Structure 1
């Protein structure tokens, strides 16, 4: 397995703050808003948090007041602050609990992605328009409309504690948990302030996700947020763990939207960005 075989689990929300600020500035102020859609979002992870199964949340339509708050967050250039502001403005409650910053930080990245999708739906409607999409097959441009229902969503079939057992290449396994909002914020802010390279970002991600490492003939090694234990893992095992975390993650798959070209018959996939979500 090579470094190209996995995708950083944070990539779905990697659109720059400037891009989203431009989209908000150019669309929110002047579009004709559709009637608000259903404001209930099904949470795909069905996580157990403090003994409570998180099945649904309620979101709301973004207003001019929210637009101003999002623009202030975007102006910082810090993408995690913009995502925080978006969730703060758009999420009302989670399973009957007030959507406090602490609660939102404890949600899985997949649930946060689902909430962002719900905020988009209730604010701008159910479809995304692309004035020009270039087919990678025939290289022809055409207008494209993507319904939000076309974005694949992986959903848990029952309550989950969000922990996984991932096999290591030469025997043994790790116990790992799904990445949450607090992990996303920590990695993004550390990458910016400490100028972490991709390997260092992976170490930080793994130190937050991996709970313990089990190797045959050895006692379980608890990670406890320390970077040393995950640095001791082989490169293939680190890449395998990250790939499995991404594959097992519940939530929308923004990078797997099917697209069919009627001109040449080519079937491909489109990666829907957050910037595209928040334009009319």
Structure 2
């Protein structure tokens, strides 16, 4: 195999990599009651993080600490944040006063600022921007529809149905209707919306019924690097197979910009001009 063919295979392998909605946005100048929906903040949702507990001074889920503890699993510039107690109660319903609650800094509840001198135990998750979500992102998956129970797009089922097309431990998830409308967990009644589990909408929990949804995931960068390596191996094996089956002359034609000379071995009296005819007639030239 020539170096030109090998170089071309590397380029093709790289090009075949896996390419791999409104959320409550609270900034430092807003109270929870003033929190607003921002349709423009669509992005991927991280898993829940619970780094601290309320023992001591309070519960601190600060972005800088989370980035250090979970490298690569959170974007450095989130566009939205959501906080809940570890039991699933929204932060706005706890009655606690928050010292910090914004996507650029994270979340902090100080015990001394509370009426009962004790914060609840909180967890947080973030919405990340498109440029971070798309670094190592899967295609869209739609393996269920909302008939019967609802629309169940759970990660274990997707892993079984689409092996090697998704990482076993995604770091973020996006959900949209099959028509393309992005949906976020804060404005819909979803049973599951988490990259570590997948997505589930149950008809019995809706006023009408669930729509038909699709999901995609953001994976750790090592998954895409490994995918590139595997694609390179598969392509290399394919090239070797083709080389063995058809011979070097055909490979040269496929990957070379050079053309053969003109051929005319048939006439229009009922015949058909076929490539295999050329091979059998002048196989030393093509």
- TM-score, normalised to structure 2, is 0.22
Higher helix share: 1
The higher-RCO structure (CA 8 Å, 6+ apart) is 1
Report the TM-score, using the length of structure 1 for normalisation.
0.22
Please tell me whether Structure 1 or Structure 2 has the larger radius of gyration of its CA atoms.
2
